[in-house]
Structure 1
Amino acid sequence: MNAKLLTRLSVFAVAGVLVAGCASQQGTNTAVGTGVGAATGAGLGAIFGGGKGAAIGAGVGAAVGGVTGYNWQAIKSKISGASAGTGTQVTEQQDGSLKVNIPNSISFDTNSYAIKPSFTPVLNEVSQTLVQHPELIAQVVGHTDSTGQPAYNQTLSQNRAQSVSSYLAAHGVAAQRLSAEGLGQNQPIADNNTEAGRAQNRRVEIYLRATAQPGQVK
């Protein structure tokens, strides 16, 4: 094994250690995310492009890491405040996104994809957040319980996700920053054999993701 290959493997090993050390912490600090990204990028760059490749890889990795380390605290607090008492849950995810989980009890009537008035305060806050933060995009995902035919549930979940996406678009969010997907009954989070479980499975999730840090042009 020659010296150049040993050097490359050493850089990659260091990058791996840095990633492992930071991966357990949800990225709420841009510096942490940037460091992890830079380390990963440097390791890959060293393997495939030598010293110059390490420098380039570190730069690319830092940009990705910075997005992973997006600071959601203020946005999370605002959405949580607007949805207080509704059963909506706002949580940071391991992939760096912010998930807004809205229960069906406030969002849609049975077999309907018309947005209920009790849903609008949450959606208004999400739309305002997206308008104020052009570096963010939103993915809307609809879910149902297992009652009824799978094909019907799939269509209903898609229509509900699209209703939410259309609402956000009508409140100033550019359509290209939005996506809608229905997953029907395919991703339960609770037992469909109980009413309480089915109620949890009937939900809409909105994932907010950063494509850049605040103030950056993307």
Structure 2
Amino acid sequence: MIRSTILLSTVAVLGLTACTTGPTGYEDPNAKAKTGALVGAAAGAVAGRLAGGNDVGERNRATVAGALIGAAAGAAIGNQLDKQEAELRAQLGNNVGIQNTGDRLIVTMPQDILFATDSASLSGGLLGDIKDVGSSLLQYPNTTVQVIGHTDSDGDAAYNQNLSQRRAQSVANVFISQGVPAGRIQVIGRGEDQPIASNLTPEGKQQNRRVEIVILPNA
């Protein structure tokens, strides 16, 4: 039974991996869903095995059942993210970045367009895009949303931390005004602690000044 479980898991992993690859330049439109299924299967297998008790046969049966349930849930999440990503790409402007990691969407907006220098008051530049994201959050209610503010390293670190928190809150307030429940939203200020580029160049600093909206499907 143990060997059967290992064999089944190996075949499933190899099968899903093969489905997500192809000729150079080919992009599988279902890749994220398949990745979600793979991740879900692994998590489900672990959970099932832990819940299987002390009997070896029961543990193995629970492992297989958990993998199947986890794969189905993971594929559903992947499909939802693919659909939401496509809709957001069609709605949002070129200044907004969207990354689909397979288990979450990360929407990145540059603070230089969102806010004036040293201000946490939203300007009109990307307000329409923020509202489009809010509408998407209403359309996909079974998600948790993290709004995360980031700054460059110029100035006092404590001041940057506070500013990033207030800017993230300003974006979250737009979502709340649209009807997104405040309980779904986590507001986080990272200040200068998580740069994505060098703070030694103006271009790098500009990339670091950003607000990230992380959309996490609920399990």
Q: TM-score range by the shorter chain?
A: 0.7 to 0.9
SS at match of 1:117: coil
Give the count of matched residue pairs. 207
- Structure 2 partner of 1:216: none
Specify the code of the residue in structure 2 equivalent to 1:112.
Answer: S
Question: Given the alignment, which residue of 170, 190, 195 partners 1:163?
Answer: 170
CA contact (8 A) 1:15 1:43 kept: no
**Runs in 1 of length 4+ with deviation above 4 angstroms?**
4-29
Residue in 2 that maps onto 1:33: 36
Distance 1:116 1:60, change over 3 A: same
Query: Structure 2, unaligned stretches of length 5 or more?
Result: 22-27, 53-58
State the alpha-carbon separation in 2 of the partners of residues 177 and 12 from structure 1: 35
Q: Secondary structure at the match of 1:70?
A: helix
Structure 1 distance, partners of 2:173, 2:211, is 14
Match of 1:152? 159
2:100 corresponds to which of 92, 107, 121: 92
Identity over aligned residues, as a percent?
Answer: 34
Aligned AA (1:103):
P
Matches within 5 A, 1:178-197: 178-197=185-204
Going from structure 1 to structure 2, the CA distance change for 1:12 and 1:75 (only over 3 Å counts) comes to closer
Q: Distance in 2 between matches of 1:107 and 1:71?
A: 28
TM-score (norm 2): 0.78
Match for 2:92 among 83, 92, 103?
83
Tell me, yes or no, if structure 1 residue 209 matches structure 2 residue 216.
yes
Q: 1:114 & 1:36 partners in 2: Cα distance?
A: 40
Superposition RMSD in Å: 3.0
* 1:102 and 2:105 aligned: no
1:57 matched to 2:57? The reply is no
How far has the Cα of 1:18 moved from its partner? 5.5
Q: CA deviation at 1:182?
A: 0.7
Residues 1:27 and 1:175: Cα distance change in structure 2 (over 3 Å): farther
CA contact (8 A) 2:5 2:64 kept: no
TM-score (norm 1): 0.78
- Partners of 2:112 and 2:201 lie apart in 1 by 16
Is the CA contact (8 Å cut-off) linking 2:93 and 2:129 kept in structure 1? no
